[in-house]
Amino acid sequence: MSAVFKCVPFSGLPDYSAEEMQKRAESFKELMEGRRTIRDFCSKPVDRAVIETAVATAGLAPSGANKQPWHFAVISNPEMKRKIREAAEIEEREFYSGKASEQWLKDLEPLGTDPHKPFLEIAPYLIVVFQQNYDLDPETGDKIKHYYIQESVGLACGFLITALHNAGLATLTHTPSPMGFLRELLGRPKHEKPVMIIVTGHPAEDATVPLEALNKKDLDRTSSWFE
Ligand code: IYR
């Protein structure tokens, strides 16, 4: 017979009135409207406890069969940050000088990005998110299957940047391509694949954000309703 998990009654949600619910929905939207991708950071320190809490929050994301197929490598060590910057800039130079299509480079123009990635050394924290294609049982070494890996890790990244934003921190979801160097530098196993670097800290005093990125698609375009 297969194992049966014990269930307990769920009592985790408050019973908001319709008005209170709408108020909360709007105020959360307002909070998230204030989230912008930041590319210029300052070195102002951030408490480790805040990062730890945000990473723990990311780990609350739903995942396929609750397998939690993620690993977060949290880097504040200046030497490791320097190595990551160095390796990332090698990839980025190739990207910007031939690997990327003309269309891609044109699409990036409004962001003003280039191969220089000083933020990888300046920001106090880099959080490298890995997807685990499978896991190994710490006791038996048996392979543990993972499901909906990309979807699950995407959700965890969403929780993470939301948690960091809510704490008042700026983030950049950075994806040097290819990213294999991160696995080697950080000593992660073969069955883990780096997905993104979440650069975390405070914005530089003179940080700017592109005006154009404020143009979010409206609801008519992003949703269809069957009522
Ligand atoms: N990885 C490069 C290029 C880049 C690609 C996309 I898609 C972006 O949204 C932003 C940048 C870089 O970081 O410069």
Q: What is the pLDDT of residue 177?
A: 84
Position 213 confidence tier, pLDDT thresholds 50, 70, 90: low
- Ligand 1 in contact with 111 (CB < 6 A)? yes
Position 214 confidence tier, pLDDT thresholds 50, 70, 90: low
For residue 91, give the amino acid letter.
E
Is ipTM over 0.90?
yes
Distance CA 63, CA 145 (A): 13
CA of residue 92 to ligand 1 center, whole Å: 9
Mean pLDDT for the stretch of residues 120-149: 97
Average pLDDT, rounded, for the chain: 95
Q: Which residues fall within 8 angstroms of residue 2, CB to CB, at 6 or more apart?
A: none
Distance CA 132, CA 104 (A): 29
Which of 1-5, 64-68, 116-120, 164-168 is the least confident region? 1-5
CA of residue 76 to ligand 1 center, whole Å: 23
- Other C-beta atoms within 10 Å of 219: how many? 9
Q: What is the pLDDT of residue 2?
A: 60
Q: What is the pLDDT of residue 211?
A: 80
- Ligand 1 in contact with 113 (CB < 6 A)? yes
Q: What number does the ligand 1 atom closest to the CA of 115 have? A: 14
DSSP the chain: ------------S----HHHHHHHHHHHHHHHHT--B---EE-----HHHHHHHHHHHTTS--GGG---EEEEEE--HHHHHHHHHHHHHHHHHIIIIIS-HHHHHHHGGGT--S--THHHHSSEEEEEEEESEEE-TTT--EEE--SHHHHHHHHHHHHHHHHHHTT-EEEEE--SS-HHHHHHTT--TTEEEEEEEEEEEEPTT----SGGG-PPPHHHH-----
Q: What is the pLDDT of residue 11?
A: 83
For residue range 40-82, what is the model confidence (pLDDT) as tens digits? 999 999 999 999 999 999 999 999 999 999 999 999 999 999 9
For residue range 161-182, what is the model confidence (pLDDT) as tens digits? 999 999 999 999 999 988 999 9
CA of residue 114 to ligand 1 center, whole Å: 8
Residue ID of nearest Cα to ligand 1 atom 9:
108
